[in-house]
Homo-oligomer: A and B are copies of this chain.
Amino acid sequence: MSSGAEESLEFAPVFDKDGLIPAIVCDAASDRVLMFAHMNREALELTQSSGVVHLWSRSRKALWKKGEQSGETLAVREILVDCDQDVLLVKAEHQGKGAACHTGRKSCFYRKLEGKRLSIVDDVRLYNPADIYRR
């Protein structure tokens, strides 16, 4: 089961047919998952060279410095890659008020599943999105 990609120390990220690789961002201190997004090669290179998380927005089809509007940038502490080299895990430190989610919450994962319903497990808003984002 061991292939080159799994044991290699050469970084050879696998981008999908759209040129994207999934990127999980977690809090470097607590390991809590903050958000999930995608990077293209340019976003990954910018993330590495600047030390600040850059992403590719699939909805806006644009390179995106995370927190550019909100000030909620994420400083990179470590970038890990999975066994198949087709997923990245970015360990980051919150800048700004510490909200990775555009709803103003620390993490995008603030609701848990209970059967067919959701319940909110974190409703602390670190900023008011209405103060920052305009429709």
Q: Are B109 and A80 in contact (CB under 8 A)?
A: yes
Q: Are B129 and A79 in contact (CB under 8 A)?
A: no
Q: Are B9 and A120 in contact (CB under 8 A)?
A: yes
On chain B, the residues within 8 Å of A103 by CB distance are 1-2, 6-7, 83
Q: How large is the interface on A (under 10, 10 to 19, 20 to 34, 35 or more residues)?
A: 35 or more
**In residues 1-43 of chain A, which contact B (Cβ within 8 Å)?**
1-2, 6-11, 22, 24, 26, 30-33, 35-36
User: Shortest CB–CB separation between residue A76 and chain B, in angstroms?
Assistant: 10
- Shortest Cβ distance from A134 into B: residue: B1
Q: What would 28 A/B residue contacts be, using CB atoms closer than 8 Å?
A: A1-B103, A1-B135, A2-B129, A9-B111, A9-B117, A9-B118, A11-B113, A11-B116, A22-B22, A26-B31, A30-B31, A31-B31, A31-B33, A36-B82, A48-B113, A78-B113, A79-B112, A80-B109, A80-B111, A80-B113, A81-B109, A81-B113, A82-B108, A82-B109, A83-B102, A83-B103, A87-B108, A87-B109
Tell me if A64 counts as interface (CB < 8 A to partner B): no
Interface centre among A82, A117, A120, A135 (most CB of B within 10 A): A82
